[in-house]
Structure 1
Amino acid sequence: MNKVLKYTLIVVAVLAVLWAAAFFIKTNSKSSISYETKKPFISSIEKKSVATGKLVPEEEVEIKPQISGIIEKIYLEEGVEVKSGDLIAVIKVVPNEQSLNQASGRVKTAQLALNNVKLEFERNKLLFEKDVISKQEFDNIKLRYDQAQQDVSNAQADYQIIRKGSAGGSSSANTNIRATVSGTILEIPVEEGDQVIESNNFNDGTTIASIADLKKMIFEGKVDEGEVGKLKVGMPLKVSLGAVDDKEFDAKLRFIAPKGVEETGAVQFKIEGDVVVDEGVMIRAGYSANASFILEKKNDVMVLPEALLQFDKNTDKPYVEVAKGDQQFERKDIEIGISDGVNVEILSGLTENDAVKIWNKTEPIKKGDDEEKTTDEE
């Protein structure tokens, strides 16, 4: 009797262990994922690239004074549209003492020479009237007298320019700074009371204002050496501005730099494009911009979503898994062409009837598992 009870208990224990094991396996096993498929399709595909840069005026003119002095009055502000000839500022001339002294000395020297020639002229005039000297000799003396008068006049004019900034001896002692082109004043980097230097052969001079036509803008950017070989002058661009939302401007590539510049280990080439500015849109110089351009385009080719591709760990060559039955797939090596970042061109290895596995699909979370996870977190 004891043996029967003993064997019974052993059988019950074994069954309990088997039941517990089956329950554990059932509750901890994951359901298999049912993979979906997608077929290749015919479409057009474009390979684009983007160049970063900024918008700048096509021509920007700097207004510089022709005489040194101090800014006495500024009449206009930045952002104002001007026409050629409009008065921007007035400069008060402050003469250099050394130059003023030299000019004064030249006036005195010229006056002394004039006085001497005048005496000679008057003396020879009396002799000519008495027919003592010939007319030719008298004409030569008169010529020297006229030249001496002109020398005095020139020396006095130089003295007035240095002293007052005007050959006419204007009492205002200023010079007017006017716009040389029509456009918008971009910048006035000086203030009233600032000292300015004239533009000459040895000095660029102080910039009083910069003017540009904001209706004629160009895009300045840089492209990588791997893409510059695919660009051609005249190709279309699409320019988008960070300051103008949901709007693109048409542009045309006008310049590709023949020499690159190395930046952070990569060679960059400067490009420029003429931008068409729409009426009613306010564009400011220096806006950051991106220009997109089509490097390569193919129409009516077989494409596949790039996310369906897999790559061999050893060769890095692409392949996909094609359905051969219900949830049964086999590997197929393929050859790909250009990509637009979403779809990729299929050159060989697939047909339009092949059903490609969407391999990166994740298993949906069960409601019970989600509730258990939430309870554990709490």
Structure 2
Amino acid sequence: MNKVLKYILIGILVLGALWAAAFFIKSNSKSAITYETNNPFKANVEKKTVATGKVVPEDEVEIKPQISGIIDEIFLKEGDMVKAGDLIAKIKVVPNEQSLNQAKGRVRNAEIALNNTKTEYDRNKVLFDKGVISSQDFNTQQLRYDQAKLELQNARSDYQIIRVGSAGGSATANTNIRATVSGTILEIPVKEGDQVIQSNNFNDGTTIATIADLSIMIFEGKVDEGEVGKLKLGMPLEISLGAINDKKFDATLRFIAPKGIEESGAVQFKIEGDVTVEDDFLIRAGYSANASLVLERKDSVLVIPEALLQFDRKTDKPYVEVAVGPVEEQKFERKDVEVGISDGVNVEIVSGITQEDKVKVWNKTEPIKKGDEDEEDTAEDN
């Protein structure tokens, strides 16, 4: 009886072990991956680089006052179109007390000098009419009288300019701030009541407005030193703006900086390109932009998808695996290849394989089936 019970226990253990082994094999078994192949093909390959930057007007003109004072009134606003000569703002003059007093004193001196000269002129005219003095002496006295009148007129004009900003007969008063070029007002950084300083040899002056022609725009960006040597003036650019989707603008490279600037450990070179602006689109100053430049292009060359390349761990040289015999046999051999330019998707094959070779898609993975997921979850729960 003990032997029968012993054999029964051994049988149960063997069956349990077989069941556990079968379950483990089933839950961890994966179907063998069948590798697909691709044939090399002919295509055009472009090696591009992208320069980040912005689009700005070619010329921006800052309008500055010719006299110091306080903004009395602003007639236009940002975004308005203006023509050269249009009135933008008006300044109320706050005269300097010392300069005003000196100008007033000059007027008084000129009046005194004129009165004295007039007295002399009247006396000499009577003598000249009687024939007592010569015409030369009278002409000299008349010249002094005319000069005294002119000096008084100039002194009064200077006093008027210092007091109110312009002479009464002036066609364009200094207090009137006018546009010097035609375009769009980009910015008016002042408001009514602000004090402004005139532009002179010692001070740039306060900017009243900034004007630019938005129909003439340029791209300003930077490229890495490793790519600047491949650029040439006149190269075409393709500009994409973050604010305008699904639209590309053509441009032409017009400037490459002769000196680089180090930024975050890398040397960057400034570039500029003339942007072709279409009438249907309004490009605002300062839009962020990317410029795509074609550094190298090859037409109708042998290429493969770049994902098919593999690299030797020791030499880091590229190679591919090519099918030997029918693809169904899943036999592959390694072939070293020489590659050329790449556009990030396809890479040029210079040598190593031909268009008839079947290149292994080595990095394809099999999707996990629903049944396998359930079995793995069950095994983890157990």
Give the structure 1 partner of residue 57 of structure 2: 57
Structure 1 residue 142: deviation in Å? 1.8
Match of residue 352, structure 2, among 349, 354, 378: 349
Please tell me the residue identity of whatever aligns with 1:327: Q
Give the structure 2 partner of residue 127 of structure 1: 127
Please tell me the residue identity of whatever aligns with 2:82: V
Is the 2:65–2:174 Cα contact (8 Å) retained in structure 1? no
Is the 2:114–2:148 Cα contact (8 Å) retained in structure 1? yes
SS in 2 for 1:118: helix
Q: Describe the shift of the 1:37–1:136 C-alpha distance in structure 2 as closer, same or farther (beyond 3 A).
A: same
SS in 1 for 2:302: strand
SS in 2 for 1:248: strand
Distance 1:289 1:174 in 2: 40
**Residue 139, structure 1, aligned to residue 139, structure 2:** yes
SS in 1 for 2:175: strand
Give the structure 2 partner of residue 74 of structure 1: 74
Q: Deviations over 1:24-69 (max 9, x none)?
A: 6742333321111111111110001111111111111111111111
Which range moved further: 288-297 or 271-280?
271-280
Q: Deviations over 1:178-205 (max 9, x none)?
A: 2222211111111111111111111111
Give the structure 2 partner of residue 163 of structure 1: 163
SS in 2 for 1:141: helix
Please tell me the residue identity of whatever aligns with 1:356: V
Q: Describe the shift of the 1:25–1:174 C-alpha distance in structure 2 as closer, same or farther (beyond 3 A).
A: closer
Distance 2:286 2:29 in 1: 62
Please tell me the residue identity of whatever aligns with 1:68: S
SS in 2 for 1:347: strand
Q: Describe the shift of the 1:196–1:14 C-alpha distance in structure 2 as closer, same or farther (beyond 3 A).
A: closer
Distance 1:37 1:153 in 2: 98
Structure 1 residue 110: deviation in Å? 2.0
Count of residue pairs brought into register by the alignment:
375
Is the 2:66–2:174 Cα contact (8 Å) retained in structure 1? no
Distance 2:221 2:122 in 1: 76
Structure 1 residue 330: deviation in Å? 1.3
Is the 1:93–1:174 Cα contact (8 Å) retained in structure 2? no
Unaligned runs of 5+ in 1: none
SS in 2 for 1:201: coil
C-alpha RMSD of matched pairs (Å): 2.6
Structure 1 residue 312: deviation in Å? 1.2
**Residue 324, structure 1, aligned to residue 327, structure 2:** no
Give the structure 2 partner of residue 271 of structure 1: 271
Task: Work out the percentage of aligned pairs sharing the same amino acid.
Answer: 70
Give the structure 1 partner of residue 214 of structure 2: 214
Is the 1:164–1:174 Cα contact (8 Å) retained in structure 2? no
Alignment of 1:297-336 (within 5 A): 297-325=297-325, 326-336=329-339
Distance 1:2 1:194 in 2: 113
Structure 1 residue 151: deviation in Å? 1.0
Give the structure 2 partner of residue 23 of structure 1: 22
**Residue 280, structure 1, aligned to residue 283, structure 2:** no
Is the 1:240–1:291 Cα contact (8 Å) retained in structure 2? yes
Distance 2:353 2:249 in 1: 39
Is the 1:161–1:169 Cα contact (8 Å) retained in structure 2? no
Distance 2:123 2:300 in 1: 106
SS in 2 for 1:219: strand
Distance 1:191 1:18 in 2: 91
Structure 1 residue 119: deviation in Å? 2.7
Is the 1:241–1:290 Cα contact (8 Å) retained in structure 2? yes
SS in 2 for 1:138: helix
Distance 1:377 1:175 in 2: 86
Give the structure 2 partner of residue 236 of structure 1: 236
**Residue 366, structure 1, aligned to residue 369, structure 2:** yes
Distance 2:213 2:16 in 1: 89
Please tell me the residue identity of whatever aligns with 1:339: S
SS in 2 for 1:78: coil
Structure 1 residue 289: deviation in Å? 0.6
Q: Describe the shift of the 1:270–1:244 C-alpha distance in structure 2 as closer, same or farther (beyond 3 A).
A: same
Structure 1 residue 355: deviation in Å? 0.9
Distance 1:192 1:21 in 2: 89
Distance 2:253 2:380 in 1: 58
- In the superposition, the TM-score normalised over structure 2's length comes to 0.90
Structure 1 runs (4+) deviating above 4 angstroms are 5-22, 374-378
Distance 1:2 1:143 in 2: 156
Structure 1 residue 288: deviation in Å? 0.6
Which range moved further: 109-118 or 192-201?
109-118
Is the 1:302–1:346 Cα contact (8 Å) retained in structure 2? yes
Distance 2:219 2:174 in 1: 40
Please tell me the residue identity of whatever aligns with 1:23: A
- In the superposition, the TM-score normalised over structure 1's length comes to 0.91
Q: Describe the shift of the 1:225–1:187 C-alpha distance in structure 2 as closer, same or farther (beyond 3 A).
A: same
Q: Describe the shift of the 1:14–1:115 C-alpha distance in structure 2 as closer, same or farther (beyond 3 A).
A: closer
Distance 1:49 1:356 in 2: 29
Distance 1:102 1:219 in 2: 53
Is the 1:64–1:208 Cα contact (8 Å) retained in structure 2? yes
Please tell me the residue identity of whatever aligns with 1:331: R
Q: Deviations over 1:256-312 (max 9, x none)?
A: 111111111111111111111112212111111111010000001000100011111
